[in-house]
Homo-oligomer: A and B are copies of this chain.
Amino acid sequence: MFVYSTKIRVRYAETDQMGYMYHGNYAQFYEVGRVEMLRSLGSSYRAIEESGIIMPVVELRCKFIRPARYDEEIEVRVILAKLPGLRMHFTYELYNESGVLINIGETSLAFVNTKINRPCHAPEDFLNKFKAYFEHS
């Protein structure tokens, strides 16, 4: 298992007239979370795309427990519970500035080889970044 945590501040643009962060914008917080997780491991989603593999999201789930409000710095905790294969599965826990869990999310991403426009396995060098965290588990 690998856990990574980053912080993102809610923009005014992301609020709605309820005074909450619009529920559709959490997907962006998840995106930033997993991209920064990859960066922390010496990987980069940009580099993956440039190598000819895109990772479209094939499933998204969000549970909204409490609102995120304007200007709050939200902690996005990203959890990778198993090594990627044909899919890569992330779960997310979001905490507000008081440390209260406000949101739980999940995404599944596929690997697609853009040259042949077909699903593929996670590339070997990409997998190697994670392997140390999953040995004997």
Interface residues, chain A, with chain B CB atoms under 8 Å away: 9, 11-13, 15-20, 22-28, 31-32, 35, 44-46, 49, 54, 56-64, 67, 70-71
- Whether the Cβ atoms of B15 and A28 lie closer than 8 Å is no
Add 19 more A-B contacts to A16-B16, A17-B70, A45-B71 (CB < 8 A). Answer: A12-B22, A13-B16, A13-B28, A18-B56, A22-B27, A23-B56, A24-B24, A24-B31, A27-B27, A44-B71, A46-B70, A49-B70, A58-B63, A58-B64, A59-B61, A60-B60, A60-B61, A60-B62, A60-B64
- Whether the Cβ atoms of A13 and B19 lie closer than 8 Å is no
**Alpha-carbon separation in the docked complex, A58 to B70 (Å):** 18
In the complex, chain B residues whose CB is within 8 Å of the CB of A58: 63-64
> Is chain A's interface secondary structure helix, strand, loop, or mixed overall?
mixed
**Alpha-carbon separation in the docked complex, A105 to B17 (Å):** 24
In the complex, chain B residues whose CB is within 8 Å of the CB of A9: 32
In the complex, chain B residues whose CB is within 8 Å of the CB of A35: 12, 71
Q: Given the known A-B contacts A12-B35, A27-B23, A27-B27, are A64 and B56 also in contact in the complex, defined by CB atoms under 8 Å?
A: yes
Q: Which one of B18, B49, B54 contacts A54 once the chains associate, using CB atoms below 8 Å?
A: B18
